[in-house]
Each structure stands twice: as structure tokens, then as C-alpha cells.
Amino acid sequence: MKVHLKVWRQSGPNVKGRLVDYTADQVSPDMSFLEMLDSVNETLIAKGDDPIAFDSDCREGICGTCGVMVDGRPHGPDSCTTVCQLHMRRYKDGDTIVIEPWHAKAFPLIKDLVVDRSAFDEIIQAGGYTSVNTGGAADANAILIPKTAADEAMDSAQCIGCGACVAVCKNAAAALFTSAKVTHLSLLPQGQMEAAARVVAMVDAMDTAGFGGCSNEGECEAVCPKGITLKNIATMNREYRKAMFANR
């Protein structure tokens, strides 16, 4: 089949960008969305043109590297799906697809569809870890953890840091991402010793990076490819208030 593309092209952060029209011919319904972009780039390279820059790595919905706005929705029209798992069978012959990068102050554009998401790394570096000695695997397994707590912690740990929550939020808030990392460790006994310092440091890092405030409207939950819920934000807010009272 054939699809028409409107792709955001911008050669650098200080250059004005624009949507450029392309046509992808001989698109197989079994192609992933990124494979379709690969085929367009092969055509551009053959013509001597600059290929479309976009991020990808595992292409299995695990790493969180890929991420673009497809017709105004992060990762495209399918729920709980990364853009690398979106397949062209979702579209019809002759469809027009608009592809843009994440738009957020804290995610400055590098080129075309590629943005700098190192602000997420700064939040993790601020406290998304345990530094206490928990021993080896055998020692860790000796700590009894209720199944409900383990399940909830794993649900939060599924966050892959793709940035879709930031891209869809009108305030460009990173509350869903940060809260998933805070909640994951707050539910486990290994994370309790540093819980107060962790949540304060991560929230401060989130604010310093330039993310907006959460208005609790739920767009982030709706587009998260791993189904991270707003419950995590409630947990983060609760942990933050506890830490503030403890500090006082």
C-alpha cells in the first residue's frame, strides 16, 4: 500500500522547522512504523537527500528509546503500544500520517524527530536507586515481601522512560515518570531507608529540569505504553508530604 507522510524536519535546535511531505510506496501491512520510516530513509539516501533522524534501539517496546507524535498522539493510535510496535496494518492505503517530535521545554530538540531526554536521567540520578547494602541475591530473597506489594512495585517498575507522558501533557509534566520511579522503591523494604531523601531529591530535580506541574487530568495515563496509572502520582504526593513533615 501507499501512505502519505507529513514529517517534521529541523536540522538543528536553532533552525526553524517545518512539516515536509513524503510518500511511502510499497508499504507492507506487516511493517512496523519504524520499518516504514527506514524504507523512506533508504529512498532519501539513494537520492542523496538527508534521511529523517529518529531514535530507536531495541524495537521491542522495552528500551523506551523511540517516541514520536503520530497524528497528535504519542506512539500513535493504539493503547499500551510503543511506536516501534505500531504496525502499518493499522492504516489504510492512501492515508496521510503526521509525524512530529515530543514537544516539551525539558526535551530540547536535537534534529528532526530526535529530542534530548537527559532530563529523565537527571531525575533518576537524583534518587532513583538504593545505595544501602542489601547483600547478594540470596540475602535479598530472605526479605519477605507481600505479593500485593511486589506486584504493585513491578507495575510501577515497568515504566520505560519514553517521555510520552510529558509529550501529551499540556503542562509538559513529568509527574507520571517520576512517581513510577518513586513508587517502585517506596513499596519495597530495600527502599525504605532512603525514602524521604529520595522523593524530595527526585521532585526537586524534576522541577529544576523545567517540567511543568501536574494538573491531574490523566492524559499521561491514557498514552503510557506500559499502562502506568495515576495511582503512582498519588503515592508520590503522599511520600513527598511525609518527607516534608519529617524534615520539619
Confidence at residue 143, expressed as pLDDT on a 0 to 100 scale: 79
**Given pLDDT bands bounded at 50, 70 and 90, which one contains residue 246?**
confident
Checking if the pLDDT of 136 tops 90, the result is no
Query: Taking residues 80-95, what's their average pLDDT?
Result: 97
Confidence at residue 12, expressed as pLDDT on a 0 to 100 scale: 95
Residues with Cβ within 8 Å of residue 150, at least 6 apart in sequence: 187, 188
DSSP character at residue 229? -
CA atoms within 13 A on the CB side of 239: 29
CA atoms within 13 A on the CB side of 194: 17
Checking if the pLDDT of 248 tops 80, the result is no
Residues with Cβ within 8 Å of residue 63, at least 6 apart in sequence: 57, 160
Q: Give the C-alpha separation, 2 to 243, whole Å.
A: 56
Query: Taking residues 53-79, what's their average pLDDT?
Result: 97
Q: Give the C-alpha separation, 76 to 67, whole Å.
A: 9
Domains of the chain and any CATH numbers: 3-111 (3.10.20.30), 118-247 (1.10.1060.10)
Q: What is the mean pLDDT of the chain?
A: 95
With 0-12 / 13-18 / 19 or more C-beta atoms within 10 angstroms meaning exposed / middle / buried, residue 235 is buried
**Given pLDDT bands bounded at 50, 70 and 90, which one contains residue 140?**
low
